[in-house]
Structure 1
Amino acid sequence: MRARVQEIVFDCAEPAALVRFWAAVLGGAPVDRSPAWSYVDPPGFVRLAFQQVPEGKAVKNRVHLDVEVADPSAAAEEVAPLGARRSGGLVTDEQGSFQVMLDPEGNEFCFVTG
């Protein structure tokens, strides 16, 4: 069987707010399909969807996005006013650099180079 990823879905408390964060980071226009479901189609990437769930985030994500940028530290500063925050420090090795980040609801993602 061959299949393709249609979208990546995030469970969250506030879909309309979270979709606007990710639209600002990756591009695309946020769409609110209902109060419990929003999505964005970032250019050159699969749709990101956000569905409202009653429970809060309790543990580290099992899957996260690596977002390529020219400068992870500068990118981290740029998204801070949008509600993102750093998790730990910048890591650099022979493969490049990465900065673990948390979106406004605490979902981990990384700004990466390389």
Structure 2
Amino acid sequence: MRARIDEIVFDCADPAKLVRFWAALLGGTPVDRSADWSYVDVEGFTRLAFQRVPEGKTVKNRVHLDLDAGDIAAAGAEAVALGAELTGGVVTDAQGSFQVLRDPEGNEFCFVAV
């Protein structure tokens, strides 16, 4: 049997707020299914969903999204304007460049350019 990814789910404190951040960043229309569950269908990608949990984030994500930004500086500035936080500077090596950010609830993600 082979499974396929149906959606990627983020645990969070405020699903409605977080889905609007990601919808603004990636495109798509935010949907609030309930006060505890929101999602956005991102064109060309799987659904991102956000579920309310009682505990806060305490450690680094074990999984994160790498987003092809093209212009990392411009993408980072836009993300910050939407509520993200930059963590460190742009890192460049022989494989390309990346910038680590945190969404409004502290979930790490990267803008990449290869």
Quick check: TM above 0.5?
yes
Query: Runs of 5+ in structure 1 lacking a partner?
Result: none
Does residue 113 of the first structure (1) align with residue 113 of the second (2)? yes
Query: Runs of 5+ in structure 2 lacking a partner?
Result: none
Q: More displaced, 12-21 or 75-84?
A: 75-84
**1:72 positional shift:** 1.0
- Structure 2 match to 1:78: 78
- Give a deviation string over 1:18-45, Cα, whole Å, max 9, x none: 0000001111100000000000000000
Q: What percentage of aligned pairs have identical amino acids? A: 71
Separation (CA, whole Å) in 1 of partners of 2:27 and 2:9: 17
1:8 partner letter: I
1:52 partner letter: R
- Structure 1 match to 2:103: 103
- Structure 2 match to 1:35: 35
Aligned pairs, how many? 114
Alpha-carbon RMSD: 0.5
TM-score, length-normalised on structure 2?
Answer: 0.98
Separation (CA, whole Å) in 1 of partners of 2:68 and 2:25: 11
